[in-house]
Amino acid sequence: MSTAPAHRVHHLNLYRQYFDLVASGTKTIEVRVKYPHLENLTAGDRIEFRIKDTEERCEVEVLRVAEYATFEALLDGEGPEKVNPSASRQQQLENIRAIYGPEKEALGALAIEIKLI
């Protein structure tokens, strides 16, 4: 008798505008900085996204994780419509850099392909 390995669940916060896009299934690429706690994120893992200080949650499956040197390279490589279908590439770049400063971007950018569960 074999048992499938249990998937890991990561808990991450999202701003309302991005949470709504994930929860509706229209956002399929989540952008994160390559922080040490995300280094072991891999296909098959799950992420429980939540809006800070609320009970709102949604869970996704990680399909793929790709690493990029910059947010600009990530948007070009993945396609901005997958990151945020409601904003232009330039607006997305400005929004991402408003969240993560240059010192964070220098750590590397992760494109996390997700599927709503």
Percent composition of the chain: helix, strand, coil (DSSP 3-state, to 5): 30, 30, 40
Task: Count CB neighbours of 60 within 10 A.
Answer: 24
User: Per-residue b/e over 17-27, b at no fewer than 16 CB within 10 Å?
Assistant: ebbbbbbeeeb
- Confidence tier at 7 by pLDDT (50, 70, 90): confident
9-116 is a CATH 2.30.130.30 domain = yes
pLDDT at 5 over 90: no
In angstroms, the CA 37 to CA 28 distance is: 21
pLDDT at 3 over 70: no
- Confidence tier at 1 by pLDDT (50, 70, 90): low
pLDDT digits (tens, 9 = 90+) for 43-98: 999 999 999 999 999 999 999 999 999 999 999 999 999 999 999 999 999 999 99
